[in-house]
Each structure stands twice: as structure tokens, then as C-alpha cells.
């Protein structure tokens, strides 16, 4: 027992002194290792094979099992690093929920503007007859969106950003963390996800910026992320829009996914530009005040 304890102690010491990328690799390996015992029986029950694409009813249980253990893995990281969840930007204070609400509104409004412009250009048609189905559906999607968003923000804009910043500048950290964020979406589906990789990478960059704007808190990126998930899922599941075919799919998004098209890219750039202005505006204002 003493030998085991000493070995574990030495292992933890070597992990704490490892490079940021090595710590990140170990984190995701540990997450995968703990997930497999849950994922394998679920996949068998759902009759899913890794070589086959995931149906929506198969993806949700697997995603749920993966995300349910994520906080435990992050907690393990805090224990190894000797920090708390607040270091990763998650503090259960009123300011967090204010930022969450503001981010959610900004996320939904950015989508509303993007799709409204497409409607004005004749690229989409609204199916108002389906609005009645959004009642309970919208609420359940909201709960799901909040859960998925906080899990991904805690991992990618919380733990991952903090670890990478130990070895890299904030700019390099944003690029690497956003790249990892985008590439890991390939786990679920490759064919439809590949065209979304540039959009997912840019989304990650915007969310890192959102955390910076919010003073290191995850409230604003959580709200933005949840707003985008909620808005897009409501449109898709509620069948609220249909594409007219007047614009190329590379503009509106391949297979109706805005992240795989220029519209989604411009939407993210607009939100990122707004956040950037919010970040630098106070400094500009201070610099122009006469002494």
C-alpha cells in the first residue's frame, strides 16, 4: 500500500510539472476512459455501431452520458491543480446569471437578425403554421441548451483555456482551444461536421473573447452558447423555416446548418466584433479623457 501511495504521489507531481498540452491530453484521455464503461452498454442497447452515422435518438443518450461525468473530470483537474471551479470562471453569484441572461439574449438576437436578413433576401420562408408546436418543445430545448452549453464552456473555455495559458499567450490559447473544440465535434459525425469546422473554430474564438469581456467569468460565453443552441434547435426541430434555393448552400449553410455557410460565419464575426468593441471601448474612452 505504501508503495502504491508513493507511486501515485510521484505520478501526481510529474503531472503537475508537465506541459500544458500534456495535461490537456491526459484530461481528455481520462474523460474518455471513464466514459467508455457507460458508452459501450448504451451503444449496445441503442444498436449503434461506430462505423454507422448516429441518429438523433442515439446521439442524445451517448452525449448525456459523456456530459454527466464531465464535471467530475473537471473536479479531478481542480484537485490535481489545487484550484477551485471559480478559477475556471464558474462562480454561482448574481453577476454570473446576469451575464448568462445578457449572453443568451445576444445569441438569440444575432440569429434572429441573420435569419431575418435571409428572409428579406428571399432565401428562406417562414413556416408560421408550426409556431404552435414550440410551447413545451421550446422549454425542453432551453433546459438542454443550458446544460450542454455550461458543460462545454466549463471544459473548453474554463479548464482548457486556463491550462493553455500557463504556457501560451491568450491569442495562441484561443486558437489552440478553439481548434480542439472544433475537432472534437468530429467524434459524433464526420461527414456533416467537416464543413462546419471553420465555423466551430470561429465560434470557439468568439466564446474565448466573451469570457475575456466578462472578466474571466463563464456567464457571458455560457449565455451566448446556450442562445445559439436554443435558437438553432428550435428552428430545426420546430420546422419553422424552409430554404427557397435562391442562394447557394455555401452561403446559407450546407444541409441547412448555418455554421457550414457564410451566413453563420458572418453572424459569428458580427458578435465577435461587438464583443471586441466592448473590450477595447473602455480603454479608448479612458485614453481620450483630458487630464
pLDDT digits (tens, 9 = 90+) for 197-212: 999 999 999 999 999 9
pLDDT at 200: 95
* Half-sphere exposure in the Cβ direction for 198 (13 Å, CA): 13
**Proportion of the chain above pLDDT 90, given as a percent:** 54
Q: Which residues contact 145 (CB under 8 A, 6 or more apart)?
A: 226, 227, 229, 230, 233
Beta-strand pair 124-126/241-243: antiparallel
Which pLDDT score is estimated for 183?
A: 93
Which residues make beta-bridge pairs with 125?
242
For the CA atoms of 78, 145, 180, 65, what is the dihedral angle to 10 degrees? 70
Q: Check residues 97 and 16 and name the one with the higher pLDDT.
A: 97
| H or E stretch covering 77 | helix 70-81
Distance CA 99, CA 216 (A): 11
- Mean pLDDT for 26-45 is 89
Query: In this predicted model, what pLDDT tens digit does every residue of 127-146 receive, in sequence order?
Result: 776 666 677 778 889 999 99
Query: Among 14-23, 160-169, 180-189, which is the least confidently predicted range?
Result: 14-23
pLDDT (0 to 100) of residue 5: 40
pLDDT per residue as tens digits for the range 59-113: 788 888 899 999 999 998 888 888 889 999 999 899 999 999 999 999 999 999 9
pLDDT value of residue 139: 86
Give the pLDDT mean for 43-54. 75
- Quote the pLDDT of residue 281: 65
- SS3 call for 241: strand
Whole-model pTM: value is: 0.88
Q: What is the pLDDT of residue 11?
A: 47
pLDDT for 286: 46
Of 203, 148, 215, residue with least CA distance to 174: 203
Amino acid at each position: 500500500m505504501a508503495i502504491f501511495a508513493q507511486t501515485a504521489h510521484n505520478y501526481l507531481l510529474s503531472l503537475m510539472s508537465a506541459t500544458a498540452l500534456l495535461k490537456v491530453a491526459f484530461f481528455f484521455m481520462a474523460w474518455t476512459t471513464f466514459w467508455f464503461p457507460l458508452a459501450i452498454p448504451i451503444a449496445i442497447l441503442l444498436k449503434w455501431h461506430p462505423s454507422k452515422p448516429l441518429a438523433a435518438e442515439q446521439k442524445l443518450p451517448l452525449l448525456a452520458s459523456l456530459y454527466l461525468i464531465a464535471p467530475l473530470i473537471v473536479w479531478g483537474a481542480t484537485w490535481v491543480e489545487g484550484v477551485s471551479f471559480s478559477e475556471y470562471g464558474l462562480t454561482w453569484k448574481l453577476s454570473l446569471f446576469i451575464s448568462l441572461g445578457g449572453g443568451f439574449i445576444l445569441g438569440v438576437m444575432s440569429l434572429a437578425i441573420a435569419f431575418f436578413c435571409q428572409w428579406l433576401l428571399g432565401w428562406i420562408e417562414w413556416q408560421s403554421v408550426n409556431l404552435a408546436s414550440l410551447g413545451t418543445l421550446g422549454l425542453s430545448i432551453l433546459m438542454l441548451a443550458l446544460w450542454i452549453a455550461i458543460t462545454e464552456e466549463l471544459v473548453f473555455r474554463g479548464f482548457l483555456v486556463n491550462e493553455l495559458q500557463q504556457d501560451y499567450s491568450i491569442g495562441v490559447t484561443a486558437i489552440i482551444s478553439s481548434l480542439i473544440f472544433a475537432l472534437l465535434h468530429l467524434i459524433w459525425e464526420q461527414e456533416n461536421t467537416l464543413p462546419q469546422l471553420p465555423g466551430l473554430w470561429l465560434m470557439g474564438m468568439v466564446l474565448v473573447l466573451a469570457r475575456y469581456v466578462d472578466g474571466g467569468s463563464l456567464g457571458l460565453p455560457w449565455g451566448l452558447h446556450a442562445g445559439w443552441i436554443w435558437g438553432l434547435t428550435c428552428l430545426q426541430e420546430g420546422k419553422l423555416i424552409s430554404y427557397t434555393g435562391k442562394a447557394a448552400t455555401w452561403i446559407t449553410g450546407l444541409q441547412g446548418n448555418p455554421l457550414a455557410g457564410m451566413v453563420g460565419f458572418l453572424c459569428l464575426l458580427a458578435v465577435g466584433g461587438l464583443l471586441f468593441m466592448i473590450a477595447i471601448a473602455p480603454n479608448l474612452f479612458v485614453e481620450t479623457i483630458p487630464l
